[in-house]
Amino acid sequence: MYVSLIILFNSLPFPPTDRRLDGDLFPKPTIFFPSVEEVKLHGAGTHLCLLQNFFPDAIKIQWKEKNVNTILESYQGNIIKTNDTYMKFSWLTLTKKAMDKEHVCIVKHENNKGGRDQQILFSPNTFFSKGNTLPFQSIINENKYKSSLMLLPLMILQFANTSAYYTYLLLLLKSMIYFSIIAFCVFWRTGIFSDGKIF
């Protein structure tokens, strides 16, 4: 009986809680800004902070205005496991007026460098002064080459989605034409269109 319990415990799907991984396991941020079009259309914009490749999964994310201690209401996604590490995202939606101020995303995690909270700055001067109109463009690397490389996957994704849309639309149209032809032939053979005369 003891052997079967040991085998059962060893086959459980969750890993041991005291597991340790090697390497830099602090949260690595990628920041995304709202597009100028989003701000113009909705009068508000969303700052998004994606934190990746951290371990363990215990993490706390808060947002505040720079040099102000009041914590702002923000939203957070679920923690997602990716291989042996975790990822999580958080976002803050601001009015157009509030976007003129600097905001900070504060990340509390046990593996932060130096044991201090990570403070990720979202500055309107850095983003909007460049006349940026790309939706959700990260400004961690600000040179134009990196920006164009970031845009390429979005263009490929948009092309794939548009191609799939028109392919399905064409298939739907083709199916409707075939259905009409088959329905006409079936009804014609049964005599509905021939006044009871079957040919």
Quickly state the pLDDT bin for 10 (edges 50, 70, 90).
Answer: very low
Dihedral sign from CA coordinates of 98, 99, 100, 105 = positive
Q: Whole-angstrom Cα distance, residue 153 to residue 35?
A: 17
User: Which of 33-42, 90-99, 123-132 has the least mean pLDDT?
Assistant: 123-132
pLDDT in tens, 140-189: 444 444 545 556 677 777 888 888 888 999 999 999 999 999 998 888 77
Indicate the fold that domain 20-140 takes in CATH.
Answer: Immunoglobulin-like (2.60.40)
Residue pair 108/120 in contact (Cβ under 8 Å)? The answer is no
At residue 4, the pLDDT reads 39
Pick the closest to residue 187 from 177, 199, 176, 175 (CA basis).
Answer: 199
Residue pair 119/97 in contact (Cβ under 8 Å)? The answer is no
Average model confidence (pLDDT) across the chain: 76
Residue pair 143/150 in contact (Cβ under 8 Å)? The answer is no
Domain positions in the chain = 20-140, 143-199
